[in-house]
Every structure is written in C-alpha cells, then in structure tokens.
Structure 1
Amino acid sequence: MSFDDLFAQHVGTAMARQVALADLIGERNWSVDLSAGSATFGDDLRFPIQLLGTESHVDGTWLWAWANTESGLPPALLHLCGWLRDYGAQSGTAELTDPSFPLERADGAKLALVASGLTGRPYYRGPYEGGALFFHLEGVPDGPVAPERVITVLSQVIQAWPLPHRQVALAFLTQQGWAVEDRGERLSARHPDGSTIEITFDELGRIAQFGGQIQGR
C-alpha cells in the first residue's frame, strides 16, 4: 500500500486522538526519561513511551529510532517502530522500512499519525535544538471522538493536507462507529446516539458542505 493511501485511511482517527491528547496535556511542560521509558507532563501526568524517530532540521531528514544505532537507545523502547517496519515490509510501504529519508517525502507528523492510526496510541512531538523527537504514549485513555467534534476534526485534516476528501471522510466515520451510506455526491452517516452527518462533495470530490444534526448531551 502506498504511504499516501495509508495516511488518508488513518489520518482522521489519528488526528482525533491528538485533539484529545491536547485537551489532556494542556500547556504542561514535557520531559522524557529514556532510562525509565517514560514521559512526564507537568507535575501530574506520566506515561510509558515508545520511540518513533527524529526529525533533523539541519539536513531536513527523518531517522527511524530503530535505525539510530549510534545513540544506544534502549531496545525496550523500539518495539513499536520495529513493528511498523515489519508492517511496512508486509504492506510494501517503503516509508516505514527505509531507515532515513528527506522530510519532503514524509515528515515526522505524517509518520506519527500513520503510526497512531495503526497502533491506537497518540504521539508527542518534542522539539529540541536542531530537530524534534517523536514518541508515542501508552496508557492514554482512548475511545471514539464525540459526535460534535467529528466535523471539527475533518475540517482540520482537509485544511492541513491535500487529501482525497471522500476517502478520508469515509474511513474516519467508519472507524468512529458511524453507519455510513455513500450516495454518490454525498455521504450520509448515523451515530449510535442518533446524531447524523451529511457531507456533500463538489465535482472535484472536495467537501463542499456539512449538514446533519448532533444529539444533545
């Protein structure tokens, strides 16, 4: 599977996890303890981590954590990125198996969102001088996004990246537990709580309008 198809399939649900994580962490400072295998946010939040990789803003490249042999990273923190490498080998997704490549091909955010969609874990981008560390958090509460936030997430996704809107919306709504009917020029979706969403597309397949009704809480 191409990386672009994999990204379109998983970006919606992965972005929903990032929105929920941002709500949880807020403005807390972060730190990582590699020997303990954990990340701390503020004085009250601590989660086990799995390392994903690093962006270098010096040469504009991505390096998978499993390929960063010079840093002596703890093997226990490389299980997730090793699993992604194996998944990439099976699916034929070179971005998950090539040890390093230019960020123009796929940057840390896109890679981390794909990883989130495949593994069910949110990620964190930790900036440092000259680059950024990407890692995934374990044990963060997870679940479907609230119906009232579905349109917000979809809007954020299609504004951030040039993507096939129908493919993204259909995958996201289905993954979130909505019953979806593809009616050609629009998607009609119903949530188990009775909420409905109608998405109308233009002649180029781009989202033109949202409609529907969200049930009150």
Structure 2
Amino acid sequence: MEDPELSFVRAMNSLKLQTEAHDALWGLGEAAWAVDLETGFIEFTNDKGWTITAPVQVIGTYNTLDGTWLWGWDHPSVSEPVAQHATLVNGFGKKHALDLLTTRKVEISEDQAWEFTALASYLAEAQGAYRGPIGTTLVYMTFGELKIVKE
C-alpha cells in the first residue's frame, strides 16, 4: 500500500507534466472551455480554431468567498456518472483515514483543491485536469482521452 503523502507528491508531479504537455500541444491554459455535465464532456477551443473534447469528471467546487471545498461525490449539482473520480478519492481517504477526503465540505486553500484534483487524476489515470471559473466558484475537473479536431 502506497504512503498517502507519496501518492500526493506523485499525483502533483504527474499532473504538472500532463498540463505542460497539453499547454504545448494545444494551449490548455489559454483555451476557452465549456462543460456539459448531462453528457459528461468538456470542450476546449483554442485560437488555432481547434476543438478539443474529452469525457469529464467533477472532483469538487471551491468557493472563493469562504474558502470551502465541496466534494463532487456528494455535490447537489453533480450526478453520479460524473463524480466517479471524486469517489475514488473518497475511497482513498477512507482507506487511509484522511478526513479531508471523506468530509463532504471542508475549508481548504486553492493549492489543496489542486492537490485533491491531482490525486483524483492520478488514481483514475486521467489524461489531465482543469479548473474552470463560474462566478465566484471554481470547478475542479479531470478529463479523459482527448479528441482533437483541427479546422
């Protein structure tokens, strides 16, 4: 059984490498985004006219006004099919007795929100993660295999 601290380190390193690769290939950091939680897909568009789509999972939401995180595995706006990666983190938290991963709503920093998302991506072997702002809320998501259409 892997040490939880080591899992977080590996997860953050993995996500950093994935993000750098996505930025270099199609401009993840600058792309416009839209998510459809009904279909379970995220779509990015870049300044080259490319459309990049992938299956999406919601890990949680971060309220920038009060610094609280609400897990996707028990979020009223997140259906079970798009909360599977968050549920993996919940199971990891139970296995290692980590309250922050098993408590529905917690006060954390944005850095911790990224750590939670990276862990979800690592556990699910996702292709990457994204943080999308919706007003004062930040939605943290993982995504699967990308389909890139160049127009």
Q: Which TM-score tier does this pair reach, normalised by the shorter chain?
A: 0.7 to 0.9
Q: Cα RMSD between the aligned structures?
A: 2.3
- Segments of structure 1 that go 5 or more residues without pairing to the other structure are 142-217
Cα shift at 1:113: 1.5
User: What secondary structure sits across from 1:58 in the alignment?
Assistant: coil
**Highest Rg: 1 or 2?**
1
Paired position in structure 1 for 2:41: 38
User: Following the alignment from structure 1 to structure 2, what is the Cα–Cα distance between the partners of residues 46 and 79?
Assistant: 19
Paired position in structure 1 for 2:12: 11
Does residue 1:64 correspond to 2:65, yes or no? no
Q: How does 1:181-196 map to 2 (within 5 A)?
A: none
User: Following the alignment from structure 1 to structure 2, what is the Cα–Cα distance between the partners of residues 17 and 119?
Assistant: 14
Does residue 1:119 correspond to 2:120, yes or no? no
Q: How does 1:115-194 map to 2 (within 5 A)?
A: 115-121=120-126, 122-140=128-146
Q: Number of residue pairs matched?
A: 139
By relative contact order (CA 8 Å, sep 6+), the higher-ranking structure is 2
- Segments of structure 2 that go 5 or more residues without pairing to the other structure are none
Measured against aligned partners, the alpha-carbon deviations of 1:158-202 in whole angstroms (never above 9, x if no partner) come to xxxxxxxxxxxxxxxxxxxxxxxxxxxxxxxxxxxxxxxxxxxxx
Paired position in structure 1 for 2:24: 23
Paired position in structure 2 for 1:205: none
The 4+ residue runs of structure 1 with deviation greater than 4 A are 1-5
Measured against aligned partners, the alpha-carbon deviations of 1:34-56 in whole angstroms (never above 9, x if no partner) come to 11110111152111111110000
